[in-house]
Structure 1
């Protein structure tokens, strides 16, 4: 196996193209780490991982950092706002600089679409995508899969409805590819101005009432600032038409669950009392992010 082939198995750019076996392997390894009896291990002692966040994040960065430290890795945190990127240095130059200093892997989050595949052709250390533009967010999808598998035991025959701003959602895309690979049925629900038309050939758009019949109702954060002048003039109007209200949640199947990648707008896409209700898996998802990212980092450095 060539070095290029070896690295391609260690990068994680997205869920698109990952086989069911690869996805299941990551989920299984996350289950191992979730049950691991020691909080901090020396598994990756002496290895250096750089968290390179060219776009702001709280949950994702801290989740990766906790995962890295639990594995015993040395962690370098890079934030674009306090870096030479502000002076005009390119993303490539920054990543190449850190690689030259001896990092063993990089976790990277960025706004541009399409740049990550170019980077991995030039960088000799494994890179993990922590979110790139509106393209993919693979570790979020993996922790969502893990949460669904915890609840239902598998994916075949499940209906997952993803509701909200599909157009700008990398979470929707990563979940679509991964869920379909594992045998679940995916549908989208969004107002016309928030649809990604190119995804319509892969999953149908349904009404909010149809979406509520799903086994998994996955809400997305609505960024109304991106949609000024469109159908909804206010958060209240969006909630009335597409929000998961208490009344709508009461119409879900008894076994169905509520998910959200967070951060969430309470009383916009989801009512306040539903965030931590019995059906909600939102904070479980956050918890599951650590073992999933432990599995992904271990995969990159094994």
Structure 2
């Protein structure tokens, strides 16, 4: 088995160019705090685009982005599509169920054909962990790959939009206690959130859930505090992140029933009172009301769930522009330098 530090180093080497700039965005493993803060700061600059009369900026003009979603998605796929369009890129949405892949064409052959169409970026969601990494190792060097969720492993843009939302409400990460409640075992979102929170320097990350839905040796492997009692897990926390029960990834008796789960771990107004008075409630969606939380909590004053969706646009614009938009800026700078040289001549 490859040591964890070596895995982080390999991930960083694949995602960053020689100058430390993003060329792919596959996982938060191996990325330092300064880069995560840079993503958050750039995202802040894109929030205002939604209020403009013309909701577009030219950073990715002339670029082609292909959305390759091998799993169903609503929020992630549509926000990536809208983010690309707001950056002035052209977008291809590949319908996997009717594509040549469904007819037996290999994934690599599909990629090669899309590369022949001069695609600049692949946004990939896949049921297999490591799929985005695999694609990134096989694309031509100028092509960028963004991981939109792979198996149970990673969902880096979701984690970063969650970090952005937390910072908007709490201003700083230092001193925060964050509880992640629910199906951590099957959650790629939770794994990315934990890496981000620890990298950004929160005081404590708590993983809260039944023992069947918490990874073995999570405290040592993930750097968290594990709580199997909801009251203990929520006590005096600043942020509560609820996770969906991923029944499609469960092949055994992980839970007696959804009713029993809600009885023990569902968030109600009363249980929310255990957290700090200004604690915020988050959920990556989709929500199973009456399972992960009451509707009164989901729609309540402390819920920031819809803000997460809005912030997802800004964060994905930031990441996409960092991966391929800088190429346009570099070309523009080179063009201006050439013009200046000719003028001097």
TM (norm. structure 1) is: 0.94
In structure 2, the residue matched to 1:15 is 28
SS for the counterpart of 2:225 is coil
In structure 2, the residue matched to 1:139 is 157
Matches within 5 A, 1:112-191: 112-124=128-140, 125-184=143-202, 185-191=204-210
1:10 Cα deviation from its structure 2 partner: 1.5
Q: 1:154 to 1:103 in 2, by over 3 A?
A: same
Alignment partner of 1:252 out of 255, 270, 275: 275
CA deviation profile, 1:117-169 (whole Å, cap 9, x unmatched): 23212212110000000000000000000000000001011111101011100
Alignment partner of 1:232 out of 246, 249, 255: 255
Between stretches 134-143 and 232-241, larger displacement belongs to 232-241
In structure 2, the residue matched to 1:288 is 311
Matches within 5 A, 1:96-111: 96-111=112-127
In structure 2, the residue matched to 1:212 is 234
CA RMSD of aligned residues (A): 1.8
Alignment partner of 1:51 out of 67, 73, 76: 67
Alignment partners' CA distance in 2, 1:81 and 1:167 = 28
SS for the counterpart of 1:50 is strand
Alignment partners' CA distance in 2, 1:158 and 1:211 = 14
Q: Higher RCO, 1 or 2 (CA under 8 Å, sep at least 6)? A: 1
1:253 Cα deviation from its structure 2 partner: 1.4
Between stretches 66-75 and 245-254, larger displacement belongs to 245-254
Q: What is the aligned length?
A: 300
TM (norm. structure 2) is: 0.83
In structure 2, the gaps of 5 or more residues are: 1-15, 327-345
Alignment partners' CA distance in 1, 2:242 and 2:44 = 25
Between stretches 30-39 and 61-70, larger displacement belongs to 30-39
Kept after mapping to 2: 8 A contact 1:53/1:80: yes
Kept after mapping to 1: 8 A contact 2:243/2:292: yes
1:245 Cα deviation from its structure 2 partner: 1.7
Alignment partners' CA distance in 1, 2:287 and 2:106 = 32
Alignment partner of 1:266 out of 289, 301, 308: 289
CA deviation profile, 1:84-136 (whole Å, cap 9, x unmatched): 12112222222222112101111111111123323212212110000000000
Alignment partners' CA distance in 1, 2:100 and 2:20 = 28
1:41 Cα deviation from its structure 2 partner: 2.2
Alignment partners' CA distance in 2, 1:4 and 1:277 = 44
CA deviation profile, 1:3-34 (whole Å, cap 9, x unmatched): 96479731000111111111011110110011
